[in-house]
Structure 1
Amino acid sequence: ICERQKLEKQVLETRDDEQRRFSHDLHDGLGQYLTGILFRVLALERDLAADGSPRAESASQIAELVNETIAQAHDLALGIDPVPLRTNGLKCALDDLVKRLCRSRSIECEFECDARVECGDKAAATHLYRIAQEAITNAMKHSGATRIAVRLRKDAGGASLAVQDNGSGFAVDDAGCAGRGLTIMKHRAGLIGAVLEVQSEDAGGTLIQCRFALPQTTVAA
């Protein structure tokens, strides 16, 4: 079992490395080209407006479309490689995730983080991010929740990542559509030596909590 887990972890890490390279190419390549196009269109709009041409409005509309495309490319690149290589990378990534997923939905979302929590390992941080992403997506798709809270906190012996909603809830042994997502989350947790706990009732509300170890330097702080 240990050898299988090591192999699965290596496969996922290789895939994550490939996704990271693709994300950088998308951001630094396509993103830069689109930005160049935007500058040219804006210059064209100014020239047309200076000449009193009615086509200036069309150029302005094209500029808006290009700007929206740049934003979508940025979001796509961020979704592929979400956790930045810097201090508090997981915290920043989760904060952005909550804002992006709840931006266009009538759901109240909040993110709380203990300043002392620092994962320290990008691969583990990415797995934790994906667990939160899956939990939030499940809540939005299946629970009918109007409120979702994401919390990253330090506790005895390590830290915990929790996603809680006020949705319809479900019987954990009969998760239905959400079952595959729970299986993936548990698998990711196992790969980083974490423990995933699910508390849900038919009466309503679900809490998904992942407990994980912190680097020794962080625990001792």
Structure 2
Amino acid sequence: MEPKEITSNNVFYNNLESLIRLAKESLKLTESQNTEFQKNLLNEKFENYDISESSHLANAGWIILNSIFISMFSHFEYKLFLYCKAIEKSNEFKIKLDNLSGSTLVKYLNYLNLVANIESASKNTRNYQTLTLFQKVRNTLVHNGGIMITDINKKLESHELYKFLKDKKVAMGGSLGIIRITNVDFLENFYLLCKGLCDEIADEINKNFR
């Protein structure tokens, strides 16, 4: 196993940075289109009003950012997978990745920490705890259409993600808390978390597997 080859994070970071750039450019374009639409609306008769265009421009931003966050999370999981498979191929451990259970993210981090002894992948770290919150946001978007509350008897404020999303300035629509990422800061915060964690993991791999 060549440590420098498996721990190079450049392509991964470039991909996340490209996704963030795409988010910014998409928001700028949508804002420009919305401004033009509002301008034309003032100069045209009411019967020419296109309600579908209005709805599209009102929702395009958060739809794009929600989708880009999901994509960023997938890139991150794949990077962890590559770390695990590279260590697995070193044949230094009898336990294989497929021997572990749990969700994709938990399995990868457990392999790195419990099998390969990578301390920065431990569930006791602050990065790990924050990452689990981002994962829950991702899972809510992917598996529940972004809807936080499935039991109408529960208050949105009592949801485990409420404070996290509020602090990150993520919109939670209605009493059901429909997650709408409307600012790029949320994506950039996730990027910085991924970068910090992957830098630490890469450093440990380079030290431990020479």
Task: State the TM-score bracket (shorter-chain normalisation).
Answer: 0.3 to 0.5
Whichever structure has more strand as a proportion of its residues is 1
Whichever structure has more helix as a proportion of its residues is 2
Structure with larger RCO (C-alpha < 8 A, sep 6+) = 2
